[in-house]
A and B are shown apart, each in its own frame.
Chain A
Amino acid sequence: MISPADTLIHLLPEVIVAITGAVVIVADLVWKRPDHVRPGPRPWLAYLGIAGLAAAAVVTVAMAGRSAELFEGLVIIDPLTTFFRLLFLGIAAVVLLVAVDPLPRFTRWDAEFHALVLWCTLGHMLLASAGELFTIFLALQLTSLPLIVLIGYAKRDKRSGEAALKYLLLVLVSTAVLLYGMSFIYGSLGTSTVAEIGDLLAGMTTVEPVLALGLVLLLTGFAFKITAAPFHYWVPDVYQGAPTPVTAFMSVGSKFAGFALALRIIITGLHLPLNWHVIFGVMAALSMTIGNLGAIKQTDIKRLLAYSGIAQAGFLLIGIAALSESGVAALLFYTVAYGLANLAAFAAIIAFAQSTGSTALADYAGLGRRAPLTAFVLTVALLSLAGLPLMAGFVAKFHVFLQATQAGLVWLVAIGVANSVVSLYYYLRIVWQIYVAEGESAPLALPWRSGVAMGVCISGVLILGVYPEPMLTAAAHAASALFGK
């Protein structure tokens, strides 16, 4: 039995993030700016949020060695939780930083924006540690509701509102599906903790149709969250319509939260005499192929990255399809590599949109001369997403392919390799636009905060590409938590 004080200490990172969100709002009320002042950026609010995130990260690292099951197994703290906590905290910090400059362009309610990002991150962190179906449900709501508001944050932009409405409908549908599935599982097995579900399923030789239906519905609910095909139709419109910092946030934070959750349920809970290799393999193959083919003809860079995100979810799913400890480790490494590269790319896109107001691919012509450093960052990020060597993306793809081959999924690796070639085509098209196509030549001044975010992320991409060992070890350690028993 863990004492209440101990419980609180284990949840301290979450508590800090929750309080930071409140502090940001209160600070805004205390140092209110007069209504008639034309709103400019208020970086200190973002810095306050980042400081809270940093504090939470420090606490997380300090407690990294401790594992526990809180509230009778509703919340699980283990190395996997630690891994995802740090990942989500980092993502949120980058998003807050890059959002500072563009925020005044679409809203004057900046404090609430920061708070919503923080609380959404709280939901992500809880998802990574949820060990019981209804805790999962609550944590999911905690991520979805702030996100709906964030997507619709650009009040005057019709597309933003449209995207928010679409996402709202999606959340309603996927939540209904998820709850429906959970009720079947609870009804059949009489328990809602994932570990017990796993134990019960492991003893079964045949599965009742009702239970199977419940599991399938549960997985469908996650598939929406991780933007896997064939549950991806909402992605392009929502990604394109949302304010770009929010798109950046969703493209990594929300997606990885779905994966964090899926990992725990699938590895701990799904001991079933079904061929999960094939089920996830097919899902991965579909996501990669549909995402890549969709990306080819896009002319808007946000929409293109939305499709690329669907494809990347497919590559991540290969790690799940391997259903092995090293497969999960590969997936975890992939999340870091993808997260860094994608955030770097979005930071560059945000910086570019700040000066030009455009996200059209055609306007990137000549960027290589107009803003050499931003162009360089965007290029490295895209090449890493494509999986070229010397960048994190290569090690990630290599790792995933290796583990899938080891698990006997040669067909899936073949599809993955073919998809890498296809993806290179559209990533290169952007690089092409940046360096070769003729375009404007006036130098662009870009906000330095985006520069800092780009610098941090792209250094990470390059360091992980050249010296990935420490992160590989960390990922392997986190993965071992799921296979510990």
Chain B
Amino acid sequence: MIPGVLAALILIPLAGGIASSLVPRRTEGRARDVALVSSGATLGVALWLWVAFDRSRETMQFEFVREWIPGLGTGIHLGVDGLSLPMVLLTALLTFLATIASSKVSDQVRAYFSLLLILEAGLIGVFLALDLVLFYLFWEVVLIPMFFLIGIWGGERRTYASVKFFVYTLSGSLAMLAGIIALFLSTGGKTFDLIAIAPAAAALPVATQTAIFAAFAVALAVKIPIVPFHTWLPDAHVEAPTAVSVLLAGVLLKMGSYGFLRLGPQLLPEGFSQIAPTLALLGVISIVWGAAVALRQTDLKRLVAYSSISHMGYVMLGIASGTAAGMMGASIQMFSHGLIAGMSFLLVGALYERAHTREIEAFGGIVKVAPVLAGTLVFASFASAGLPGLSGFVGEFLVIVGSFPVFAPHAVIAAAAVVITCGYLLWMLREVVFGPLNAQHAEMPEMTGTEAASILPLGAACLAVGIFPQILEGVMRSSLDALVRALGG
């Protein structure tokens, strides 16, 4: 075991971020190379971690502990377990692919890649932090690069979208800060360490736990986002540049669901159980609402954005169920949605670059001119619809199975909502991929090498998880069992 490997996972992208901002102005295109090397190295370390990870242990591994601000009871404590490892790998993979996909960025290149890498450092930090203050710190750090990435390189309504994103998530996270301080003080005011504080936290009276977890839940729900906290998402996704949308949908949303898993069952089990029924209800509403609104979208990117809300609703339902199958389904769905959303946004971005529009009606019959591109879009849509054999199916199926014993009506509705999902996806495919060829796009170029390099690995991973879910399941199993036990299941 290499000591400090987790610190390296945060420091490599951070160093890359600083390095790419220091590239001389004359050769600013080099910033992308720096970003490729740095995010590639991070991905390498993450893959090594995946291999070296002990799948039988449910406790933290590769722990990294350093003193930081003992006066305030907070220190540096990093660790990885079955909940965080898949998220770390997903972050590293998507950032690397997003860097590849950002080859067309020409405005303030250095700042762009610098922010992208700082974003990666912050995201990995969130998933590794085991100290509440450190967790909150990384949580906020993610906001800043994201705000600028949307605000500077975004579409026409970028100002509105980025400010809305910022204000929504920040208001949420301040509630979390209040919750963290309350938790600290009610457990004796000694430490913010997530592991050390857990026994005292779990022993708190139900009312206290509920109040604190409610504060957490607001911040997490905004991030996921579940209806009614979701209105920032469509705007942010639509205005963000392609690679940023990939990270936004692929990883940022998972911060919310990861937070529910990390801060819920083991830290505040009673509070979690009290709020779970509400969360399950909101999860189902998100599933149906997201899918129903997606049906009515005429903009491809907005359609994918609303489908994200729907898919994250399954994650919420699975987590709220508190059952082994439900939580496993939610965790697999988190990973799977990262792959599928990443693929979808990259494809929408590729189409937009060709047609300079995202209006679904403006396309038609592209399978005739760009069969590979069209085929990949069909594949991504099927994955999104939950076709058996692809990763989306495993997650959603397990969520429905796992939540049925606890929330039967919810599970039934969630299962039925798959029909709506198929509805909007098939309609979209008919309009965009099939049907008569729109003459404007008769010259549409086929998928380029760069696009293939960023999109196809996601497709392959999606297929691999769909056929061999054990790859993920093996890593997650022990840690999830511990969560279920903490809830008394």
- Chain A residues with CB under 8 Å of chain B are 369, 383, 388-390, 394-395, 398-399, 401-402, 405-406, 413-414, 417-418, 420-421, 424-425, 428, 432, 435-436, 467-469, 472-473, 476
Contacts and interface: CB of A to CB of B under 8 A. Distances in A.
Interface stretch (B2-10, B45-53, B182-190): B182-190
B424 to A, nearest CB: 34
Given A388-B143, A472-B72, 14 more contacts: A389-B137, A389-B138, A389-B141, A394-B137, A405-B181, A405-B185, A417-B177, A421-B174, A428-B163, A436-B151, A469-B69, A469-B70, A472-B69, A472-B71
B148 interface: yes
B420 interface: no
B140 interface: yes
Contacts of B137: 389-390, 394
Nearest to B154: A436
B64 interface: no
Contacts of B163: 428, 432
Contacts of A420: 174
B151 A414 contact: no
Interface in B143-194: 143-144, 147-148, 151-152, 158-159, 163, 166-167, 170-171, 174, 177-178, 181-182, 184-185, 189
Contacts, number: 71
A402 B72 contact: yes
Given A406-B185, A436-B151, A421 B72 contact: no
A383 B189 CA distance: 28
B468 interface: no
B434 interface: no
Contacts of B171: 421
Given A389-B136, A472-B69, A472-B72, A436 B181 contact: no
B84 to A, nearest CB: 20
Contacts of A398: 72, 133, 177
B427 interface: no
Given A399-B72, A417-B178, A425 B151 contact: no
Interface in B221-280: none
Nearest to B140: A389
Contact of A425 (B158, B167, B181): B167
Contacts of B181: 401-402, 405, 413
Nearest to A469: B69
Nearest to A376: B21
B148 A469 contact: no
A356 to B, nearest CB: 22
A417 B147 CA distance: 20
Q: Is the interface of A mostly helix, strand, loop or mixed?
A: helix
10 contacts: A388-B143, A398-B133, A406-B189, A413-B178, A417-B178, A421-B170, A424-B166, A432-B159, A435-B152, A468-B69
Contacts of A424: 166-167, 170
B68 A469 contact: yes
A314 B140 CA distance: 23
Q: Which 5 A-B pairs have the closest CB atoms?
A: A389-B137, A389-B140, A472-B71, A417-B174, A405-B181
Contacts of B189: 406
A336 to B, nearest CB: 15
Contacts of B72: 395, 398-399, 402, 472
Nearest to A372: B111
Contacts of B147: 428
A468 B151 CA distance: 31
Nearest to B143: A388
A445 B184 CA distance: 49
Interface in B180-221: 181-182, 184-185, 189
Nearest to B110: A372
A435 B162 CA distance: 13
A300 B350 CA distance: 43
A116 to B, nearest CB: 38
B197 to A, nearest CB: 15
Contact of A388 (B144, B152, B178, B182): B144
Contacts of B148: 435
A369 B108 CA distance: 9
A390 B71 contact: no
A1 B184 CA distance: 48
A280 B140 CA distance: 30
Contact of B166 (A399, A428, A436): A428
A389 B152 CA distance: 21
Nearest to A424: B170
B159 A414 contact: no
A401 B159 CA distance: 31
B185 A432 contact: no
B151 A435 contact: yes
Contacts of A421: 167, 170-171, 174
B169 to A, nearest CB: 11
A472 B137 CA distance: 18
Given A394-B137, A414-B178, A472-B69, A432 B167 contact: no
Contacts of B133: 398
B170 A436 contact: no
A395 B69 contact: yes
A392 B167 CA distance: 21
A468 B71 CA distance: 10
A182 B270 CA distance: 56
Nearest to A420: B174
Contacts of A467: 68
Contacts of B140: 388-389, 394
A395 B69 CA distance: 10
A364 to B, nearest CB: 15
A7 to B, nearest CB: 35
A432 B151 CA distance: 8
Nearest to B139: A389
A383 B144 contact: yes
